[in-house]
Amino acid sequence: MPVGTSLAESHLLCEWRRRTPHRSGRSGPAGALRPGGRVYSFVGMKLSFSTLACPNWTLEQIIDAAVEFGAHGFDPRGIGPELDITKLPAFSSEIEKTRDLLKRKGVEVPCLNTSVKLVTPAQDRWQAMLEEVRRYAVVARQLSSRYLRIFGGAVPEGMTRQEACVLARRHLQQVVKVCGGEGCMPLLETHDDWATSGQVMMLLKDFPPEEAGCLWDIEHPYRRGESPQTTAQALRPYIRHTHFKDSVLKDGKSVPRLLGEGDLPLKEIINALRGTGYDQWICLEAEKRWHPDITPDPQITIPQFVAYMKKAWSA
């Protein structure tokens, strides 16, 4: 499927894939087998998708879609009506069954997406967030997930950015300690009041990249006026995960589009990322959960993402 495939063409591809048996044992790098009988479709790239793209799917449907559409994993951000996956049996009392299913299907869970915000002044509220970190860190260990996504959070009215930095760094130290004990690490997303590389580094500069990293959401720094090259070079030692998407601005608001159909400089972003030697995951974040009326269905967004990245990354 060519880059910029239309919705109709993407839908036809989905129908074709649903009716066509999977083939394995192909020759060459593109046919390299992985555990579970899966076939790596891409060389030097690992693809996943956030479950924001498919809020109505069950865990089994999510895993089957990863296999069918050629993704290597998925990032949990809610399943069904529950946003906090640690409250679901599949990620608590029945997590061994989940681990076995993932292994059997050859699907990975690279990054668990939490709701934790470092700038949380109220002590009781922060303790609740730290408990969320503990729950997710245990799941990460059990599923061999390397990363937990966290947010910086909004700087409250009446608090200076410097005061927010002091608070956030203190809280991040606690998060790093919890994660380290479970064999994972927190990733601060380029988001909210900490979207640019300079803002992110205000929080990460005192932490070695082995303890705390960055999740580069490609949209937010760019919308704040920062070039992809600037973001990539400034955060180079810390980038461990990425959220890919496309959009256009309409009346000052971001409107989602399929990759290649918006105005984000995706080719420039990919080149900047490759220039850092990045060899981690690329994750589609299609926010169907938050914007159900304007975000295409997952049967469209996920295979279109896989096809786009296959062509764009090898260009």
The answer, yes or no, to whether residue 40 has pLDDT greater than 90, is no
According to DSSP, residue 106 is labeled T
Instruction: Report if residue 120 sits inside a domain.
Output: yes
Q: What is the mean pLDDT of residues 124-145?
A: 99
Q: Which residues pair with 216 in a beta bridge?
A: 242
Q: Which residues pair with 217 in a beta bridge?
A: 243
pLDDT band at residue 44 under the 50/70/90 scheme: low
The answer, yes or no, to whether residue 1 has pLDDT greater than 50, is no
The answer, yes or no, to whether residue 102 has pLDDT greater than 70, is yes
User: What is the side-by-side strand order in the sheet with 185-189?
Assistant: 73-75, 46-50, 281-284, 239-244, 213-217, 185-189, 147-151, 111-117
Instruction: Report if residue 12 sits inside a domain.
Output: no
Domain containing residue 217: 32-314
Name the CA radius of gyration of the chain, rounded: 19
- What is residue 59's predicted lDDT score, i.e. its pLDDT? 99
Please indicate whether residue 248 or residue 4 has the higher confidence score (pLDDT). 248
Q: What is the mean pLDDT of the chain?
A: 90
Whole-number Cα distances in Å, 168 to 74, 125, 162, 222? 28, 14, 10, 23
pLDDT band at residue 43 under the 50/70/90 scheme: low
The answer, yes or no, to whether residue 111 has pLDDT greater than 60, is yes
Residue 145 burial (CB < 10 Å; 0-12/13-18/19+)?
Answer: buried
Instruction: Report if residue 19 sits inside a domain.
Output: no
Q: Which residue's entry shows tokens 């996504």?
A: 149
24-39 confidence digits (pLDDT tens): 332 232 333 333 444 3
| Residue 302: CATH number of its domain | 3.20.20.150
The answer, yes or no, to whether residue 20 has pLDDT greater than 60, is no
Q: Which residue's entry shows tokens 């990045």?
A: 278
Instruction: Report if residue 16 sits inside a domain.
Output: no
- What is residue 33's predicted lDDT score, i.e. its pLDDT? 33
Instruction: Report if residue 18 sits inside a domain.
Output: no
Please indicate whether residue 34 or residue 134 has the higher confidence score (pLDDT). 134
Residue 104, Cα to own-chain centre: how many angstroms?
23
Phi then psi dihedrals of residue 217, to 5 deg: -80, 115
204-257 confidence digits (pLDDT tens): 999 999 999 999 999 999 999 999 999 999 999 999 999 999 999 999 999 999
Q: What is the mean pLDDT of residues 189-196?
A: 99
- What is residue 45's predicted lDDT score, i.e. its pLDDT? 79
Phi then psi dihedrals of residue 43, to 5 deg: -100, 130
Residues of the chain above pLDDT 90, percent: 84
What predicted TM-score, i.e. pTM, was given to this entire model? 0.87
Instruction: Report if residue 13 sits inside a domain.
Output: no
- Residue 269 CA to residue 283 CA, distance in Å, equals 14
As for how many domains the chain has, the answer is 1
Q: What is the mean pLDDT of residues 269-292?
A: 97
Q: What is the mean pLDDT of residues 84-90?
A: 99
- What is residue 2's predicted lDDT score, i.e. its pLDDT? 34
Task: Kindly report the number of other CB atoms within 10 A of residue 64's CB atom.
Answer: 14
